[in-house]
Amino acid sequence: RAKLSGRGSSRVFEAGMDTVMQARQALKLRLRDALTKNQFRLFYQPLVDVATGRVDSFEALLRWQHPERGLLAPSEFIPAAEETGWIVAIGRWALQEACREAMKWPSTIGVAVNLSAIQFRFATLTADVIGALEQSGLPPNRLELEVTETLLIQDNDTNTSILESLSELGVRIALDDFGTGYSSLSYLRSFRFDKIKIDRSLITTLTEPPDSDAVMNAIVGLGRNLAIATTAEGIETDEQFALVRAYGCTQAQGFLFSEPVPASGVSGLLERLGSR
Ligand code: C2E
Ligand code: MG
Ligand code: MG
Ligand code: MG
């Protein structure tokens, strides 16, 4: 029977760590090939207009069709892609792919693409966005870019001016996952966002007043006063949908309407939910 302390167990622990590190290292090396071998996919999840229940746009969500491990979610590989810098090339691919796909949809339907803060450290971001729009022919007002507050924590001035130059292209900029982490109202002053996406964690506690209730009211009220659209993320039940409608959110997204689907599922969703 192995002892729980002493040299023996610590060696076992180290061996375990080695395996974790090796797996992470292997993942990083595979990321390089994944792009050239066309293993990334975009799934699309509808964002519906709260007033009409119809689809306004789709958010493009990255997946990795891994040859051995199957379809991987972003949490399983985006951290490694950010550490290695591969997120820049992957993010460029996602922009191109999302814009190209959106050209197949009705012209009233927009597409939202997530950007990593790492992409803002490279001078190519604005050129990548322009390139994706030009190559696809997608009008800029149909593209929305989602960023998180980490961007504004890290290098506020530089990133704010990049956001401004993106905004000048005519694309919309959304602040994703608002209400988590260090969410500060000052971020809403440093840049004029077009949309605030209220994080799922605030939605899941909505039915447990009173605190989330006050936070929700504050965020939606702020959005209304600043004329910024508000999207409630992670709507799973009719009850939650009724609540965010009552709060005055303008848009909703979540499994209640649909999980993210492959590109081939978009037309079916537009038929089922209706389009703007
Ligand atoms: P996000 O941008 O906040 O995307 C929403 C996430 O919540 C998605 O997870 C979506 O599948 C999930 N979701 C939507 N509705 C519901 C719901 O009703 N219930 C629950 N439980 N979950 C819901 P996913 O696809 O795993 O993406 C996770 C995160 O990965 C995204 O969060 C985003 O930050 C990041 N991500 C996704 N695609 C990209 C990309 O192309 N580039 C970058 N840089 N990040 C991406
Ligand atoms: Mg997002
Ligand atoms: Mg989000
Ligand atoms: Mg979120």
* Predicted ipTM of the assembly: 0.98
Ligand 1 proximity of 144 Cβ (cutoff 6 Å): no
The pLDDT of residue 22: 83
Q: Which of 61, 63, 96, 177 to mutate to test the pocket of ligand 1 (most atoms within 8 A of CB)?
A: 61
The pLDDT of residue 136: 98
What is the secondary structure of the chain as a DSSP string? ---SSSHHHHHHHHHHHHHHHHHHHHHHHHHHHHHHTT-EEEEEEEEEETTT--EEEEEEEEEEEETTTEEE-GGGTHHHHHHHSTHHHHHHHHHHHHHHHHTTS-TT-EEEEE--GGGGGSTTHHHHHHHHHHHHT--GGGEEEEE-THHHHH-HHHHHHHHHHHHHTT-EEEEEEETSTT--HHHHHHS--SEEEE-HHHHHTTTSTTHHHHHHHHHHHHHHHHT-EEEE----SHHHHHHHHHHT-SEE-STTT---EEGGGHHHHHHHH-B-
Closest listed ligand to the CA of 62 = 1
Ligand 1 proximity of 78 Cβ (cutoff 6 Å): yes
Instruction: Find the 4 Cα to ligand 2 centroid distance in Å.
Output: 44
The pLDDT of residue 257: 98
The pLDDT of residue 13: 56
Ligand 1 proximity of 260 Cβ (cutoff 6 Å): yes
The pLDDT of residue 1: 42
The pLDDT of residue 100: 98
The pLDDT of residue 276: 85
The pLDDT of residue 260: 98
pTM equals 0.93
Q: Which of 125, 150, 202, 233 to mutate to test the pocket of ligand 1 (most atoms within 8 A of CB)?
A: 233
Ligand 1 proximity of 73 Cβ (cutoff 6 Å): yes
The pLDDT of residue 3: 45
pLDDT in tens, the chain (276 residues): 444 454 555 555 566 778 888 888 888 889 989 999 999 999 999 999 999 999 999 999 999 999 999 999 999 999 999 999 999 999 999 999 999 999 999 999 999 999 999 999 988 999 999 999 999 999 999 999 999 988 888 777 899 999 999 999 999 999 999 988 777 777 888 899 999 999 999 998 887 766 778 888 889 998 999 999 999 999 999 999 999 999 999 999 999 999 999 999 999 999 999 998
The pLDDT of residue 111: 99
Closest listed ligand to the CA of 74 = 1
